Amino acid sequence: MRALTWSYSETVRIDRTRLHDTVLAGMVAAASMALFVLYGPDRLQAEGLPVDGMRAPDPFGALLVLLVCAPIAVRRSRPLTALCAGLVPETLLSSFGYGTGMSSLAVLVLLYSVAFHRGLAMALGALGFTLAAYVLGVLAGPLRGDGWDEHVVTAVVLVAVWGAGRSLRLRRAYLEELKDRAARMERAHAADTRAARAEERSRIARELHDVVAHHVSVMTVQAAAARRVLASDPDLAREALSAIEHTGRLAMTEMRSIVGVLRTDTRAELGPQPGVPDLPALVEQMREAGLPTRLLVEGEVRPLPAGVDLAAYRLVQEGLTNSLRHAGAGAKAVVTVRHGSRELDVRVEDDGRGAAEESRRTGHGLVGIRERVALYGGILNIGPLPGGGFEVRARFPLKDGQ
């Protein structure tokens, strides 16, 4: 549909320009014919102008005048052909001694059209051909003018008209280039905006998954434990329900922070993102959920880049969540954070079912972790341990001073 609309509009534009050129050709032809008939030798002699060798108007001369003006109708589609077709009768008019009237204006219009619509080489050839035709007409005709100054003025006018055409062509090309550049920049900006939106959606999706998957997994395990001891040990069931309530509030708080970014009408209730310093609380939460977990911190603790800090926390969170869900009853987990001078090494390992559960431990969460680690140039290893159990390990490169 868009192509048909463009084709129709382009056809309308071409027809309109052809109509304008035809009207222009008719106007120049009418004015040239009137001057050709009215200003013959008798009229010019009466006004005291030299008419030696000038031929009186006749039908043949009138035909030549019309032939000079007619090519203006196709000056845009075939400018060089139109110029050549107009120069032949114009040269014959000068050679036979006719008064050309305004037919010379038609030649100027055609020369301008070639300079404006064609390349430099063709435009230079048209200028040379026009000057040569003028010289030929002057040398072959009986009218030689008052002196060289008249011919110099004519040559200057021809060159000026040609230069105006070239100048306007270059200006049009410059404006088209500016429009094209602006369009390219707009397309590039739109592409960057789409990429930024896609990246932001992916980041928010990862954050939502990490928050929801972790907290819901913890709440599921705690709810199952509460159900089992509800009749035999109400106090323990009450503690489990309290832990579920606390975990649910944490989940709602984190989700509110993330979803608040999407709101445009209200300010988001933003808080600091979790990081490596928050790992003790996470480990304690996993203990309460039923997964015995130890945290080992090695090396000199130092401030980390915000992105690496969050990625390390999410990796531990996802690793422990997977251990809680898939390691099996009686499994234990160990979280090791090693601070090196050029590297942060984060490892989550358990002694659970390991290889038997490998296919179940490669969901969206670990895919998101892989993207996080790759974003900061880290190396991620996920898989079963040789002696049993499962490991999630990432090594983040650090610059000096970090």
Phi-psi group of 377: left, alpha or beta (phi > 0 → left; psi -120 to 50 → alpha; rest → beta): left
Strand partners, 297: 337
Specify the pLDDT at position 6. 43
Work out the average pLDDT over 67-71: 90
**Both structure tokens of 181:** 């550049």
Among 46-60, 220-234, 269-283, where is mean pLDDT lowest?
A: 46-60
Residue 122 pLDDT more than 80? Answer: yes
* Whether the Cβ atoms of residue 122 and residue 165 lie closer than 8 Å to each other: no
Please, which pLDDT band fits residue 209 given cuts at 50, 70 and 90?
low
Among 57-61, 83-87, 239-243, 328-332, where is mean pLDDT lowest?
A: 239-243
Among 23-27, 246-250, 358-362, 394-398, where is mean pLDDT lowest?
A: 358-362
- Report the sign of the C-alpha dihedral through residues 111, 117, 123, 126, in that order: negative
Specify the pLDDT at position 211. 64
**More confidently predicted of 356 and 367:** 367
**More confidently predicted of 40 and 220:** 220
Strand partners, 338: 298, 345
**Pure H helices in 278-398:** 279-288, 306-326, 364-375
**Structural domains for the chain:** 2-145 (no CATH), 291-402 (3.30.565.10)
Residue 373 pLDDT more than 70? Answer: yes
- Report the sign of the C-alpha dihedral through residues 76, 81, 87, 92, in that order: negative
Alpha carbons within 13 angstroms on the beta-carbon side of residue 247 total 26
Q: How far apart are CA 335 and CA 295, in angstroms?
A: 5
* Whether the Cβ atoms of residue 211 and residue 254 lie closer than 8 Å to each other: yes
Q: How far apart are CA 76 and CA 92, in angstroms?
A: 24
* Whether the Cβ atoms of residue 40 and residue 11 lie closer than 8 Å to each other: no
Please, which pLDDT band fits residue 385 given cuts at 50, 70 and 90?
confident
Quote the DSSP letter at residue 181: H
Q: How far apart are CA 367 and CA 326, in angstroms?
A: 17
Q: How far apart are CA 238 and CA 254, in angstroms?
A: 24
Q: How far apart are CA 383 and CA 379, in angstroms?
A: 13
| Whole-structure pTM value | 0.49
**Among the listed residues 41, 384, 126, the one whose alpha carbon sits nearest the alpha carbon of residue 134:** 126
* Whether the Cβ atoms of residue 158 and residue 146 lie closer than 8 Å to each other: no
Quote the DSSP letter at residue 141: S
Mean pLDDT of the chain: 79
Work out the average pLDDT over 69-74: 90
In sequence order, the 6+-apart residues with CB closer than 8 A to the CB of 103 are 32, 36, 64, 65, 68, 69, 89, 90, 93
